[in-house]
Amino acid sequence: MQKPSLPKGTRDFGPVQMARRTYILDTIKETFQLFGYQQIETPAMENLSTLTGKYGDEGDQLLFKILNSGDFLKDVSSEDLEKGSGATLSKVSEKGLRYDLTVPFARYVVMNRNELTFPFKRYQIQPVWRADRPQKGRYREFYQCDADVVGTDSLVCEAEIVLMIRRVFDRLGLKDYSIKINNRKILTGIAEAIGEAGKEGPLCVAIDKLDKIGWEKVQEELIQRGFSQDSTVKLQPLVELGNDIFQKLETLKSFLKDSEVGQKGIAELEEVFEILSKMGENLDFVDFDVMLARGLSYYTGAIFEVKVHGVSIGSVSGGGRYDNLTGVFGLPGVSGVGFSFGVDRIYDVLDELKLFPAESQRGTQLLLVYFDASGKDYALSLLASLRKAGIKTEIYPDEAKIKKQLEFATKKEIPFVGICGDQEIKDQVLALKNLSTGEQEQLNLPEILKRLT
C-alpha cells in the first residue's frame, strides 16, 4: 500500500493551526476594512500570457505551469523538442498558478474598469504558488494578504501603508521590527551615479540579495552582470551608511546631486515622512534602507519590506508603487501602490516568539455528557438554547461510559462539561463541571448562560 505524502513545500493545517491562522487573518482583515479596502478574489490559475514577463527572469522561472488537458503533446514536433523548453512550453501549457496577487489584480482592474470607482482600494487574501526551494519560512504554496490602491499618484497611500503595518503588528503583539522603505527612482539614480546608467534592473536583482549573501557576494554578482569594478567601489559607501534616516537622506542628496530621477525619489520619500507628521504620526519602526531593492520588476516608486528582529524568518511583508502595471493589459497610465502580508511567515514568527494568545485557539466551551438514553434526550433538548446564546456547545454523539466522554473533553481541551443525569433531568438543571479545577455545581439554563457568555 502506498504511503500518503504531501508535495514538498506544502502543508496540512490542523484545528490548532487553523484557529491561529484565523486569528492572524481576522486581525489583518479588520485593519484593511478600517482603511477603506474592499475584498475581491481571482482564480487560482491565470493564462501564462498574463503572468510571464511581470516578475523578472528569476520570477518567471518560479512559475508553476499547468499542462494542457488531454494529449498535451499533440502539437509538439520533434523539431520543437530539439529547440528546447522555450519552443515547447507554449504548446503544452497555456495556464499557470498565480505567483502573486498583484498581477491578477491588475488584470482584474483592466477587465472591470467600467464598473469600478477610482481610486479603487481592494484587499485580497488567497494562496499563491512559487516553484522555490522549500526551507523554513519559505513554501511553495502560501497565503498572501494584499492591499492595493489604483488610480491615484497620492503619496498619502504610502503613508497609510506604514500605518496599516504598524496597526496589525501592534495587535499581534510584535514590538521589535523594521519597516524598511526605499524608492526605485533612488536606485535608478544610484545606477547613474556609479556610471552604470540603464542597469538599474540587474542592480536591483543583485543588491536585493544583500541580507542573504553579504556585500562581497553581491559585488561578485554585479561584476558577473557586467558592472565594472570601479562602479562597485563607488557603490560601497551606500552599503555602510548609518541608521539615522535624515542623515542618510542628506548623504544621498549629495551622492545623487547629478541625477534628476534620483532627486525625485528622495523628494517622494521626504513627502511620505511629511504626510505621516501631518497625521500626527512618528517614524517609529521605519527604516530608510538605501540598499532595499525588492526583486519584482514592476515597481517604479516607493518600495517596502518588513522584517521582525530576533527570529529566524525573513521578510514578513513587502510591496511598493507601480506606475503602469495595467498598461501591459491595455490600460496605460493607471498608477497603483500596495503591499502584502505573508501570513505563513507571520504565523512562524508568532509561533517562534510564543505570542499566540490562548483565546486564539479556543474552540468548544461546553460538552454535554450523559449516562443513558434519557440523559441524551435531555442534552439534545438543551443544545439549541445554548448555541443560540453563542456558547460553543457539543454533545457526545455516541452512548458511551461517562469516563470515555470526559476523556474526550479533556483531549479536546474543552473547559466545561454539562452532566445530564436523572436528578438533573428532574430538577431541569445541569451539573456544570470545570475540568481544570474539578469544581462542579448545579445550575439552571439562565445561570449557565450567565456563567459562560
The continuous run of DSSP H or E covering 407 comes out as helix 402-411
**So what's the architecture of 15-352 in CATH?**
2-Layer Sandwich (3.30)
Strand partners, 434: 416
Look up residue 67 and give its DSSP letter: P
The answer to whether the CB of 193 falls within 8 A of the CB of 329 is no
49's grid cell: 500570457
**Does this model's pTM top 0.95?**
no
pLDDT the model gives residue 87: 62
The continuous run of DSSP H or E covering 186 comes out as helix 184-193
The answer to whether the CB of 253 falls within 8 A of the CB of 263 is yes
**Are the folds of 15-352 and 363-452 the same?**
no
447 CB-near residues (< 8 Å, 6+ apart)? none
Question: Structural domain boundaries of the chain?
Answer: 15-352, 363-452
- The reply to whether 132 sits in an annotated binding site is no
Q: Which of 29-38, 212-221, 313-322, 326-335 has the highest mean pLDDT?
A: 29-38
- The reply to whether 101 sits in an annotated binding site is yes
Q: Mean pLDDT across the stretch 203-218?
A: 81
Give yes or no for residue 218 having a pLDDT over 90.
Answer: no
Helices within 2-121 (DSSP H only):
15-34, 48-51, 56-61, 78-83, 85-92, 102-111
Phi, psi of 138 (to 5 degrees): -130, 120
Digit-coded pLDDT (tens) for 335-373: 889 999 999 889 999 999 999 997 767 789 999 999 999
Digit-coded pLDDT (tens) for 33-54: 999 999 999 999 999 989 988 7
Q: What is the spatial distance between Cα 205 and Cα 218, in angstroms, rounded to a whole number?
A: 10
Q: What is the spatial distance between Cα 280 and Cα 297, in angstroms, rounded to a whole number?
A: 34
Look up residue 135 and give its DSSP letter: B
pLDDT the model gives residue 81: 66
pLDDT the model gives residue 91: 66
Q: Helix, strand or coil for residue 259?
A: coil
Phi, psi of 253 (to 5 degrees): -60, -40
pLDDT the model gives residue 209: 81
Distance of CA 230 to the CA centre of its chain: 39
**Which residue did the predictor score with more confidence, 82 or 432?**
432
Distance of CA 167 to the CA centre of its chain: 15
296's grid cell: 519584482
Give yes or no for residue 274 having a pLDDT over 70.
Answer: yes
Of 376, 395, 377, nearest in space to 387 by CA: 395
- The reply to whether 100 sits in an annotated binding site is yes
pLDDT the model gives residue 396: 94
Strand partners, 432: 418, 441
Of 256, 283, 17, 8, nearest in space to 131 by CA: 8
The answer to whether the CB of 182 falls within 8 A of the CB of 252 is no
**Could you tell me the pLDDT band of residue 160, with boundaries at 50, 70 and 90?**
very high
- The reply to whether 144 sits in an annotated binding site is yes
Q: Mean pLDDT across the stretch 372-397?
A: 95
Mean of the per-residue pLDDT values for the chain?
90
Say which range, 86-95, 254-263, 429-438, has the weakest mean pLDDT. Answer: 86-95
- The reply to whether 294 sits in an annotated binding site is yes
How many other CB atoms sit within 10 Å of the CB of residue 404? Answer: 11
Fold of the domain spanning 363-452: Rossmann fold (3.40.50)
